[in-house]
Structure 1
């Protein structure tokens, strides 16, 4: 039976990808800095940022799904001034380059890279780092695929939660369609094993709404009452900030349903 290596397999998207692979009866190895408690996968301990353990992790691997990334904004759930000037590249650029090189030496048959919709026009340093890593994949001699996804619901939830202490929420009116990681995982796994290669259909959520509408649904679900101040952005500014509407595949789970499933205190939110 073939073996699939998942990097970033302990993150939100990575866990969903691993769940789909296991559900489909595939052999899975997760490359992570520390193992979780699940025993239905193989664990390879190491660090993509340094390369420690990576060569051993690729032994006998046929397919690599690279879902690893390092976003300071996502980790802290908020934006700081430094995020407009620089973003670490050790995982997304140097780590991707190292993973590609060692995957070639290990004769990996398919390298699938998870990326972000709209990177070509995005201006934030993290987006430029992600684009640099994606370009390395596209230039590789490996059989590769790139799947671009819209920002995830859990990130939107964290960002809006960071505004709760404010009585007034300045909120852009531009349209976009964030998506749930479970829908992205279904699409990624399908693309990994359908025999096709190259640039694959990007994936976004089912609803094209402005951020004001997403914020109001969030407040309704969390029983909050805050005044929202709509802010208009030019199309160029919106695209530079990553506010785009994806083309291609659409997920099924709506934002309001995600909020209900992930209400504070619910099992899925734990």
Structure 2
């Protein structure tokens, strides 16, 4: 059975969000609820729809009657990335096909297919799984989040030394990505990619110095050499895009100042 309701009912859809308790998942859920949709948050720790992508437990019940699914799942452990992102996608898509879901939205990373590192390889393979599925799909590729960059600086900066490699980044506010994901859900499947980036490209060392100046943290920025293919890829800017479908408007500096004012961006 395939009712594909997400294609004919853009308002008041029932949408499941895998990884809905994570950073992007939470903000996407809030955005979609604000637009009048019925949102189900799926994760191992969700209060109602507890789902485990590594086993498939809970998927059938959670997806019953859903028009669309957003896969914002993630893996904190690089060792589990393939099991959650790749095998988990296969389980999720199979359950969606059985439930008659009309649109699968996969959240991915700009340049993941060009970054020679385990986690990014898993993201690229996840995209291939989605593209070969029978469920109509859209892949939303985003650049790195302002939030993750600030969290990384704060965690490492506690030592008062901040070793930073050269890397061209184009960070974006998570809230802006959440709005794009919500737009994609409402727009229906494209069987293609949508790219969303931040408004500016900057070297990671420059961003580290801006973070230090705005937050007032006492941390010495130390150049770190990142050899090999990964270092070359990051320096060349594969984690950025000059062909973005949507370019965010909130610069890292402005986002960080706003967070610091409310006490959220200083890592304390």
For Structure 1 versus Structure 2, the TM-score category normalised by the shorter chain is: 0.7 to 0.9
Counterpart position of 1:156: 149
Root-mean-square deviation (CA, aligned residues, Å) is: 2.5
- Measure, in 2, the Cα distance between the counterparts of 1:90 and 1:235: 26
Q: How far 1:32 moved relative to its partner?
A: 1.9
Task: Please list the CA deviations of residues 108-160 of structure 1 after superposition, one character each: whole Å capped at 9, or x if unmatched.
Answer: 11111101110111111111111111110011111110011111122111211
Worse overlay, 155-164 or 6-15: 155-164
Is the partner of 1:229 in helix, strand or coil? Answer: strand
Counterpart position of 1:254: 251
Pairing of 1:72-221 with structure 2 (within 5 A): 72=77, 86-221=79-214
Counterpart position of 2:7: none
Residue 244 of structure 1, aligned match among 233, 239, 258? 239
Counterpart position of 1:53: 58
Counterpart position of 2:24: 13
Task: Please list the CA deviations of residues 221-243 of structure 1 after superposition, one character each: whole Å capped at 9, or x if unmatched.
Answer: 22124332345768954464585
Q: How far 1:166 moved relative to its partner?
A: 4.1
Do the aligned residues in 2 keep the contact of 1:174 with 1:232 (CA within 8 Å)?
A: no
TM-score by length of 2: 0.85
- Measure, in 1, the Cα distance between the counterparts of 2:239 and 2:21: 27
Any unmatched runs of 5+ in structure 1?
A: 37-42, 73-82
Structure 1's 120 and 88: CA in aligned 2 closer, same or farther, altered over 3 A?
closer
Q: How far 1:266 moved relative to its partner?
A: 2.9
Task: Please list the CA deviations of residues 53-74 of structure 1 after superposition, one character each: whole Å capped at 9, or x if unmatched.
Answer: 11100100111111111133xx
Q: How many pairs does the alignment contain?
A: 252
Do the aligned residues in 1 keep the contact of 2:18 with 2:25 (CA within 8 Å)?
A: yes
Do the aligned residues in 2 keep the contact of 1:174 with 1:243 (CA within 8 Å)?
A: no
Do the aligned residues in 1 keep the contact of 2:74 with 2:85 (CA within 8 Å)?
A: yes
Structure 1's 207 and 119: CA in aligned 2 closer, same or farther, altered over 3 A?
same
- Measure, in 1, the Cα distance between the counterparts of 2:260 and 2:64: 41
